[in-house]
Chain A
Amino acid sequence: MNVNSTVIGKPISRVDGRLKTTGAARYAADHRPVEGRPLHAVLVKSSIASGRITGFDLSALQSMSGFVRFVSHLDGALIRTIKNPVDGAFAAGEEYTPFENDRVHFVGQHIGLVVAQTLEVAEAAAKAVVVDYETSAARIEFADPTAEVRQPDLYNTGEELQVSRGHVEAGLVEAVEIVKATYTTPIEHHNPIEPSATLAVWDGDHLTIYDATQGSVNDKNYVAFGMSVDPKNVRVLNPFIGGGFGCKGFTWPHTLIAAAAARAVEQPVLLVLSRKDMYTSCGHRPYTEQEVTLAADADGVLTATRHRTQSYRSLVGDHVEPCGMTTAMLYQCDNLEVTHSVRVLNRPSGTPLRSPGEAPGTFALESAMDELAEKLGMDPVDLRRRNHTDIDQRNGRKWSSKHLLECYDRGAEKIGWGRRKAPGQWRDGNDLVGLGMATACYPGYRMPTQTRLTLDRDGTLHVGVAVQDIGTGLYTVLAQMVAERFGTSPENVRVLIGDSDLPPGPLAGGSMTTASVAAAVDDGCRALSEKLRARLVDMGHTPGNEPLVIDGGALRSGPLSVPAAEVIPTDVHEIVAEGGSDDTYGFTGGVETDKSFYSFGAIFAEVRIDRDFGIIRVPKMTGVFDVGRVINAKTARSQMLGGMTFGIGMALMEETFIDDKTGRFVNPSLGEYYVPVNADVNEFDVEMLDIPDYDFNPFGARGLGEISNVGASAAIANAVYNATGIRVRHLPIRLDDLLEDLPR
């Protein structure tokens, strides 16, 4: 790696900027079939939480001009039954097959689809479908005593969800201070601004899908299975995705339903989910109740840790919000117990939402650390330093690269931690001011990835891999990686992603794409380089040991310079090489190593609270992150800014309410589910240490999309406490949590 690279780490503007700023970038719903217009489809969803469908009355639809077809479970086997949620080849959001039978498991389940000539007709027809149900008892309330409670062993990464080491009770006896408190986090929805959408186009037994998905390969395999066609006959295209944050990660029923409907009507079908559909169709972060116990001796050394998470799952989706995973690894503590249990309820399914587990889990853990520091009379940063460890507490391995102490130091300096006062003591005019902080961390994941590297006669390099840019900047990052390896400018590299026909790569989740493609691109470039050298030798040249540079239409190695047009035989137009890596890190069954991989960071927040009205503002937030080598300073910084803003939403605004009687989400719209807007945020201070982790991959990068959202809510909650002396143990924190007790 060239540490003085002119490419890696530079603030290069996104290569897709021109398309995205002009409306020329096409998202799933913007594509049109090659010929004609697609039919429009609208979902019919269940209005009961439990029971069965006894019939559909479609009489009002038949007379509607433009109405084409209604499909449901009554159409027989439109979709092949999927038995296993993770059937090896794919991961589905839910373990049931849409339209499989008459059963209803939650409000908002897809039970039918209307296809019509226009969206207006489809919407009117969907409203006119009368569904007859036979309802049965539903378990909706979180505390329903009749709900089945499960204690799953493993999270979807293979990580243990029930962890125990040492003796917690003994550790409690040793302690001089103990914090035991329950923290809750609400139901939250991803709300990417692009709703999920699928355009399904059949040509004989070949299917092309334009899908708003975070994983084209996963999508392809799932749809191929459900449609009983060879995966080779299915192509998923997702060149641009309007954000996802997890809700487009696994494949959800609507994609399959659109494909099945298009086959049934023998015409292309476009299904765009409404914002309201999004609330029950592709997951959410479930409500959590977390009981945390932290015990410490007089020096602040943790003697016992316990983190018990209770959450829920739907009848058909197996997501568990893994809140205690962070607790199990982060601080040095020999006596620890982490448990997770889920109640099985008639609610829509959960799914990962930006930092699943870490975001709500650190709210509880890092709030409890703040409470412990207060009890011990210690500075919260010092308490964390005191319990810092270079060993992964789960398995005794050393961290590959951990610079968390530096994050604390830099963050404290930048926010002016020295200004902090005792709770409720800092006033500025009518404002109560407070500072709070929290540790952030997120696992380093890597998945097998293949790439294709091509050099054409113009001397342009092409890199192809079936990954996707959900907004992170992957197009640009890939161009930079290839440019770095061939000593050229990113403008000389064409990036092909967002197409399942390309060499396979992982879905965009777990902040793992950059690390995964890094290893694959490195190997692909090596393979291309070897081919080109062999070709130069064939041509009678003697390339030296110097790295091969491809720039200005020519190949150079030391003093040798040969035009690309000469190197590439006239009959082939291009030289192609494939490379990749089969290695997995961070998931069970991955590479055996003696190291553990995690990103770390420290988040500091300043809050100002109006003494009369309790309005909470966050004028300043500082995040310092240790995320390995930064490939692009501009796109990376933007990820961090966006993640910290997500954190403000989580801390102060976001909550989906469920009606315990009916099982309906009460506020399924952007009007009633509040997300941060322009006026809610101020300038954030973001710093990345930029220390490469070459044990993790040849470019030294770890993921960074999710960690920026971890810790932010605890830092804000702790700052609220510091400003007011009021400890709020639930999210979001609203002015009505403070009003009554505000110091006057």
Chain B
Amino acid sequence: MTKQIIKMTVNGEVQEVIAEPRELLIYVLREKLGMTGPHVGCETSHCGACTVDIDGKSVKSCTMFAAQAQGAEITTIEGLGSPDALHVLQESFKEHHGLQCGYCTPGMITRAHRLLEENPDPTEEDVRIGMAGNICRCTGYQNIVKSILSAAAEMNASKEAAQ
């Protein structure tokens, strides 16, 4: 198959990769760019483990061709924070125990991040519905909801303080 050059910005860095038209975005991110934070859980857009942020939207990267990301601005979990400098949401998931095995967590946090951009002050129900596309088999979700609500409160408080 004819390969093409795909140019995209990933976590603030411009990247150029050569990929076949049939290569999925998740594959290019994981295998060609070494971003193994987003995981593959289902390949059918149901579990959300592969969620990344593309041009301001949550996208399941197992269901998108890399070629469709030409020129896109992509954020993965690696772009939100690092072990030494956690994002508020990451800190909150850690403290409220919003994870067990952690396999769903990168997708969960990446989706939660976008959810809070869309709706900075969600109710519990908003969170449960807004996160409905991300499956966790371990935790039973309660602590995930708590983590997101607490991060939202903290982010809003620091926004207010800044004003």
Question: If the complex has contacts A23-B106, A194-B39, A678-B145, are A670 and B44 also in contact, measured as CB distance less than 8 A?
Answer: yes
Chain B contributes a number of interface residues (CB within 8 A of A) equal to 62
- The chain B residue with its CB closest to the CB of A12 is B97
Quick one: which of B142-163 are within 8 Å of A by CB?
142-145
Question: If the complex has contacts A193-B49, A195-B41, A675-B135, are A21 and B93 also in contact, measured as CB distance less than 8 A?
Answer: yes
Q: How large is the interface on A (under 10, 10 to 19, 20 to 34, 35 or more residues)?
A: 35 or more
B101 near A242: Cβ-Cβ < 8 Å: yes
Quick one: which of B42-71 are within 8 Å of A by CB?
42-44, 46-47, 49
Residues on A with beta carbons closer than 8 Å to the beta carbon of B140: 638, 641-646, 676, 681, 684
Residues on A with beta carbons closer than 8 Å to the beta carbon of B137: 191-193, 243, 245, 642, 675
A24 near B31: Cβ-Cβ < 8 Å: no
A683 near B81: Cβ-Cβ < 8 Å: no
- The chain A residue with its CB closest to the CB of B145 is A678
A677 near B100: Cβ-Cβ < 8 Å: no
Residues on A with beta carbons closer than 8 Å to the beta carbon of B109: 21
A194 near B94: Cβ-Cβ < 8 Å: no
- The chain A residue with its CB closest to the CB of B146 is A683
Q: Does A513 count as interface, using CB distance less than 8 angstroms?
A: no
B86 near A471: Cβ-Cβ < 8 Å: no
- The chain A residue with its CB closest to the CB of B106 is A23
B139 near A275: Cβ-Cβ < 8 Å: no
- The chain B residue with its CB closest to the CB of A473 is B100
Assembly CA distance A643 to B103 (angstroms): 17
Question: If the complex has contacts A669-B44, A678-B132, are A471 and B141 also in contact, measured as CB distance less than 8 A?
Answer: no
Residues on A with beta carbons closer than 8 Å to the beta carbon of B42: 275, 669-671
Q: Does A403 count as interface, using CB distance less than 8 angstroms?
A: no
A671 near B46: Cβ-Cβ < 8 Å: yes
Assembly CA distance A474 to B140 (angstroms): 19
Q: Does B9 count as interface, using CB distance less than 8 angstroms?
A: no
A681 near B83: Cβ-Cβ < 8 Å: no
Quick one: which of B24-46 are within 8 Å of A by CB?
27, 30-31, 34-44, 46
Question: If the complex has contacts A119-B31, A193-B104, A243-B103, are A642 and B94 also in contact, measured as CB distance less than 8 A?
Answer: no
Assembly CA distance A192 to B39 (angstroms): 13
A19 near B97: Cβ-Cβ < 8 Å: no
| Cβ-neighbour of B37 out of A22, A120, A245 (below 8 A) | A22
B97 near A638: Cβ-Cβ < 8 Å: yes
B78 near A683: Cβ-Cβ < 8 Å: no
Nearest-Cβ distance from residue A580 to partner chain B, whole angstroms: 27
Q: Does B138 count as interface, using CB distance less than 8 angstroms?
A: yes
Residues on A with beta carbons closer than 8 Å to the beta carbon of B127: 678
B22 near A684: Cβ-Cβ < 8 Å: no
- The chain A residue with its CB closest to the CB of B80 is A22
A23 near B129: Cβ-Cβ < 8 Å: no
Nearest-Cβ distance from residue B34 to partner chain A, whole angstroms: 8
B90 near A638: Cβ-Cβ < 8 Å: no
| Cβ-neighbour of B103 out of A118, A192, A637 (below 8 A) | A192
Q: Does A240 count as interface, using CB distance less than 8 angstroms?
A: yes
* Proximity string of chain A (627-669) to chain B, C-beta cutoff 8 Å, 1 when within and 0 when not: 0000000110111011111100000000000000000000001
Residues on B with beta carbons closer than 8 Å to the beta carbon of A191: 137
Residues on B with beta carbons closer than 8 Å to the beta carbon of A539: none
A642 near B22: Cβ-Cβ < 8 Å: no
Nearest-Cβ distance from residue A508 to partner chain B, whole angstroms: 11
Main secondary structure, interface of A, reads: loop
Nearest-Cβ distance from residue A618 to partner chain B, whole angstroms: 12
Nearest-Cβ distance from residue A328 to partner chain B, whole angstroms: 30
Residues on A with beta carbons closer than 8 Å to the beta carbon of B23: 118, 120
Assembly CA distance A168 to B90 (angstroms): 58
Assembly CA distance A350 to B70 (angstroms): 45
Question: If the complex has contacts A23-B77, A275-B43, A679-B129, are A641 and B142 also in contact, measured as CB distance less than 8 A?
Answer: yes
Quick one: which of A1-40 are within 8 Å of B by CB?
13-14, 16-27, 29-30, 32, 37
A679 near B128: Cβ-Cβ < 8 Å: yes
- The chain B residue with its CB closest to the CB of A278 is B42
Residues on B with beta carbons closer than 8 Å to the beta carbon of A240: 101-102
Quick one: which of B101-119 are within 8 Å of A by CB?
101-106, 109
Assembly CA distance A693 to B113 (angstroms): 43
Main secondary structure, interface of B, reads: loop
Q: Does A568 count as interface, using CB distance less than 8 angstroms?
A: no
Nearest-Cβ distance from residue A197 to partner chain B, whole angstroms: 9
* Proximity string of chain B (74-86) to chain A, C-beta cutoff 8 Å, 1 when within and 0 when not: 0011101111101
Question: If the complex has contacts A275-B43, A473-B100, are A120 and B132 also in contact, measured as CB distance less than 8 A?
Answer: no
Quick one: which of A241-272 are within 8 Å of B by CB?
241-243, 245, 272
Question: If the complex has contacts A642-B139, A678-B131, are A14 and B20 also in contact, measured as CB distance less than 8 A?
Answer: no
- The chain A residue with its CB closest to the CB of B85 is A22
Residues on B with beta carbons closer than 8 Å to the beta carbon of A644: 140
* Proximity string of chain A (543-567) to chain B, C-beta cutoff 8 Å, 1 when within and 0 when not: 0000000000000000000000000
Assembly CA distance A14 to B145 (angstroms): 18
Assembly CA distance A427 to B39 (angstroms): 45
Nearest-Cβ distance from residue B141 to partner chain A, whole angstroms: 5
A119 near B27: Cβ-Cβ < 8 Å: yes
| Cβ-neighbour of B141 out of A37, A645, A670 (below 8 A) | A645
Assembly CA distance A18 to B27 (angstroms): 25
Nearest-Cβ distance from residue A667 to partner chain B, whole angstroms: 12
- The chain A residue with its CB closest to the CB of B45 is A671
Assembly CA distance A243 to B106 (angstroms): 15
Nearest-Cβ distance from residue A651 to partner chain B, whole angstroms: 14
Assembly CA distance A637 to B146 (angstroms): 14
Q: Does B99 count as interface, using CB distance less than 8 angstroms?
A: yes
- Of B93, B101, B109, B131, the most chain A CB neighbours within 10 A belong to B101
B37 near A683: Cβ-Cβ < 8 Å: no
Q: Does B16 count as interface, using CB distance less than 8 angstroms?
A: no
Nearest-Cβ distance from residue B139 to partner chain A, whole angstroms: 5
Question: If the complex has contacts A23-B35, A678-B131, are A29 and B40 also in contact, measured as CB distance less than 8 A?
Answer: yes
Assembly CA distance A498 to B143 (angstroms): 26
Q: Does B95 count as interface, using CB distance less than 8 angstroms?
A: yes
- The chain A residue with its CB closest to the CB of B148 is A678
- The chain B residue with its CB closest to the CB of A191 is B137
Nearest-Cβ distance from residue B3 to partner chain A, whole angstroms: 11
B41 near A275: Cβ-Cβ < 8 Å: yes
B95 near A13: Cβ-Cβ < 8 Å: yes
CB<8 Å pairs between A and B, sample of 22: A17-B99, A18-B83, A21-B89, A21-B94, A22-B77, A22-B82, A30-B39, A193-B49, A193-B138, A241-B101, A243-B137, A275-B42, A473-B100, A638-B100, A641-B140, A642-B100, A642-B138, A642-B139, A670-B135, A677-B132, A678-B127, A678-B128
Known: A676-B141, A678-B132. 5 other contacts (CB 8 A): A641-B139, A645-B139, A670-B46, A676-B140, A678-B141
Give 10 closest A-B pairs by Cβ, nearest first. Answer: A23-B37, A242-B103, A471-B101, A20-B102, A17-B94, A645-B140, A471-B100, A641-B140, A30-B36, A23-B77
